[in-house]
Amino acid sequence: MRPAGTPSPRPAVRRRVALATAILAAVALAAAPSPAAAGQGRTTTQGALPNVTAGGQTNFTSHNVDLYNRRYSPLDEVNAANVAQLAERWSFVVPAGVDVGQVTPLVVDGVMYFHAGASVVALSAETGESIWTLELDSGARNRVRGPTYADGTLYVYNGSDLVAADAETGELVETFGDGGVLPVVGLALQHKYPDLYPPTVDPASLGYRITTPPAYHDNTLYVGSALSEGHIPGGLVIATDATTGAIRWVFNTIPQRPQDDGWDVASPTWGTGAKAGGGVWTQPAIDAELGLLYINSGNPSPDYDGSARHGTNLFTNATIALDLETGALRWYYQAIHHDLWDWDHVTGPVLFDVTRGGRTVKGVGAAGKNCLIYFWHRETGEPINPMVETLVPTETNVPGEQVWPTQPIPYNARGVPMTPFCATFVELDDPEQAARSRQMYTPYSVNEHYIVAHGGSSFGSPSFSPRTELVYVTGKNAGVSLVVRPVGDSIRPGPHGDGHSANIEEISRIPDYPPTTTVTAYEPVSGEEAWQQVLPALTTIGASGNLATAGDLVFQGTDAGGFHALHAETGEQLFQYDAPRSIRSSPLTYEVNGRQYVAVIATNTILTFALP
């Protein structure tokens, strides 16, 4: 492998200034009034495409690396023996106000891509030098997590729209949607419910937006839509033609009408109130051989008052398998019934193949904010090991509430509950606070300041290494004290998150119980914990994902600013870099001209590392 030259500090400064100016111009455009029509944008070229003829090239084309969402790279130049020598090669500062804090860039043929707001940016993945910037004439400023690349096209999302740009030139792909911009959520609502939503429907007015990159397979994009807290009438999973943007099928995680797939199963689980929530926060996974698409659905809405939604509230907080070609429901498993804690079942899904006793177990795993991880046979949805419906506290003083009496607890092959990957009970030294601490699944009160564990995993994806045959999940130890404001069925869909915020009378994040980040390795067939590493944290929720490599490494960033490399077999910390700002993005790795790079975003700075 031939090492690349080290860029000098002065050109690196010029690179940061040049792109900062371009993005600030894009922000100004995004803030100004602009036509609603799609297909409008301007591309500025700042440099040439890099030369990628020498040595090996390994791309990073999807947020979770592959169709299985394994977040595993076969690269091993950086490995457990030499990762301590990893050094920063270049960095790039994005101006404050352009929110790339949770973005994982992509790298294809030596070009790094990322987007936020109205800006789509291409850099040299070797040097950080700007190549082109696409400035859309209109753009929502909601948080995004990175683009998707397929067949020469870069797909980004903006509010409730998809945008297609030529990866080489940055020009909009005119054949996609309307001049390169597809109002995909609005079209999906019209496709699914043509008598209810007119062509002029604004999905944002119903609380919808896209927060995660689409999955791509066989010229089809699979798009998930959120937000549960917008009190949306179900999370939409949308299959759309990657060339034209034509809608192929739409699945609603909360069936609204008898013609919706799963209506007969789900409708009786909702009582008399609005059937709301179930947003899809994370990228779908695909098993093309089985012809199945896997998604995780989020919590029902409102978050803490379920008095208008008596029942288990299907298909919220579930891992769901859909037919890849038709969107038909194949199986589901609900991890949390009648959620009253905002414990989104959001992390993953991740697919894995593990050989035990001469047979291959084809599994799917997922986790959430309750600190539990679940493993199923991905063809049938049957648990690999038992998941036992267990009695939980049901006493409540929320008017009209009916707490579901059991919750499924995953067990391991030895017949005992699996070890949670973070705290399920908040232990406190102060006697007054300790008296208020409650076991998990205790409903919040309208006047008692109960303390309940509330950290868990989040949007950050787990990983699976075929070398170690372990699944790695990131979580947080944290707690919250919350007093419920009863809202019944009064919440209406909208962009302001009333399904969450309007439901809270008081909230405390328990300063006496400082949060920490956990990275935990599980053997998914036995359900045994292999190891756990505990790292610093600043905030109580929002753990980013990790990345496993063939170098027997697991990379993890934390919002305390640490970027860590752990030994994939033992969890031993082998490398640490202290960034000046929080890391809330998931890392990536790639190879250009025979050199492996590892990168991550710290708030607004792209940090890129390589061996000397």
Q: Is the peptide bond before 302 cis (omega within 30 degrees of 0)?
A: yes
Residues with pLDDT less than 70, the chain: 1-39
d(CA 422, CA 556): 16
DSSP, res 273: S
Sequential DSSP letters for 438-467 = --TTPPPBSS---EEE-----SS--EEETT
d(CA 518, CA 453): 14
Alpha-carbon distances of 394 from 77, 252, 444, rounded to whole Å: 54, 29, 10
d(CA 316, CA 328): 17
pLDDT of residue 31: 33
- Could you give all domains of the chain from N- to C-terminal order, each with its CATH number? 9-610 (2.140.10.10)
SS (H, E, C) 57-100: CECECCCCCCCCCCCEECCCCCCCCCHHHCEEEEEEECCCCCCC
Residues 6+ apart with CB under 8 A from 374: 319, 333, 335, 365, 366, 367, 383, 387, 408, 410
Residue count of the chain:
612
How far, in whole angstroms, is CA 414 from its chain's centroid? 31
Alpha-carbon distances of 420 from 57, 425, 532, rounded to whole Å: 39, 11, 10
- Looking up tokens 């920490």 gives 516
d(CA 297, CA 94): 32
Q: What is the pLDDT of residues 527-583, one digit of tens each?
A: 999 999 999 999 999 999 999 999 999 999 999 999 999 999 999 999 999 999 999
Residue 51 in tokens: 């030369």
Backbone angles phi, psi at 8, to 5 degrees: -75, 155
Check if the beta carbon of residue 289 is closer than 8 Å to that of residue 211.
Answer: no
Q: What is the pLDDT of residues 293-325, one digit of tens each?
A: 999 999 999 999 999 999 999 999 999 999 999
Q: Is the peptide bond before 462 cis (omega within 30 degrees of 0)?
A: no
